[in-house]
Each structure stands twice: as C-alpha cells, then as structure tokens.
C-alpha cells in the first residue's frame, strides 16, 4: 500500500474529475481537479512544500496557534457554560494557514473582525452549509 500511495502516486494522474468550472471559475484550478500533465506539473511544484522536515518545523506554529485557541476558550468558559467550538476551530485553522503559508500573524483570537478574519470567513463559508452538498453532489455526479 505504501508503495502505491507514496512511490507510485505519480502514475495515478487521471482520476475522475469534478465538473466544477461552470459552478466556480477558480475551483477548477486546484490540484484535486487537475488531470494528466497539468496535475503532474502542479503536484511537482507543491510537493517540496510538504516534506517531513518542513512539516516538522511548522509544529511551533501549530503549537502557538493551539495555545491561543485554548486561552480564548478558557476565557470564554469563565462566563459561559456552553461554548460553540466551530468558530474557534475556524480561527485556529485560519491562523495556522496564515502563519505557515503567508508568514502573517493574524491575532484572530484578539481581533475577530480584522480584514484577514473577514476574508478567511468568506472562504470558509464556501465549504460549509449548502455549498457542502453542492460539492458533494458534484463529486458524485460530475456530468
């Protein structure tokens, strides 16, 4: 299995695509929607960013962002007994991506209405609610 998933992965370039271009003009450019040579090109450009060493170095970012989230949840738990965790998970996800991919310190837990938070929320909303069903059905019935 490891041989197929890791070593021979480059041979599996023509997976079933998702017919998303007419629904979202940008989604068709993502790696998951590429096939053939365009998939191989994009994957070979992205792979060096996800080596074991680079992911290991990102641990400090994960740790720092997680500590900010835990602190914010603890503060909220002082005044409320029931806490909705989804917004905290969204913020920690955005914080980790912003820090590791763009080198940006977002302070999302201190400044929930920052421009980065608003833009990130819009992106996350694409993959939530009714849109999840649209994406799911596009995957099941691509044509």
The per-residue pLDDT for range 27-49, each reduced to its tens digit, is 666 766 777 787 778 888 888 87
Q: Are residues 23 and 33 in the same domain?
A: yes
Query: 58 and 14 in one domain?
Result: no
Kindly state whether residues 93 and 28 are assigned to the same domain: no
User: Is the confidence at residue 116, as pLDDT, over 60?
Assistant: yes
The span from the CA of 32 to the CA of 95, in Å, is: 23
What is the residue range of 23's domain?
A: 1-50
- As a three-state string, the secondary structure of 102-120 is HCCCCCCCCCCCCHHHHHH
Beta carbons of 134 and 23 less than 8 angstroms apart: yes
Are residues 110 and 40 part of one domain? no
Distance in angstroms (rounded) separating the CA atoms of residues 29 and 39 = 10
Joined together, the tokens standing for residue 47 give: 């792979």
Total-model pTM: 0.61
Are 44 and 56 found together in one domain?
no
Tokens read off for 77: 């738990």
């Amino acid at each position: 299995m490891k041989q197929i998933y890791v070593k021979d992965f480059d041979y599996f370039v023509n997976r079933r695509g998702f017919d998303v271009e007419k629904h979202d003009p940008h989604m068709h450019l993502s790696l998951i929607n590429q096939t053939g040579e365009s998939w191989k090109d994009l994957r070979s450009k992205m792979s060096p960013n996800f080596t074991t060493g680079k992911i290991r170095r990102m641990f400090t970012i994960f740790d720092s962002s997680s500590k900010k989230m835990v602190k914010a949840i603890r503060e909220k738990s002082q005044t409320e007994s029931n806490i909705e965790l989804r917004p905290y998970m969204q913020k920690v996800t955005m914080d980790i991506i912003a820090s590791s991919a763009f080198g940006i310190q977002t302070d999302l837990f201190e400044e929930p209405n920052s421009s980065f938070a608003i833009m990130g929320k819009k992106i996350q909303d694409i993959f939530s609610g009714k849109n999840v069903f649209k994406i799911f059905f596009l995957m099941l019935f691509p044509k």
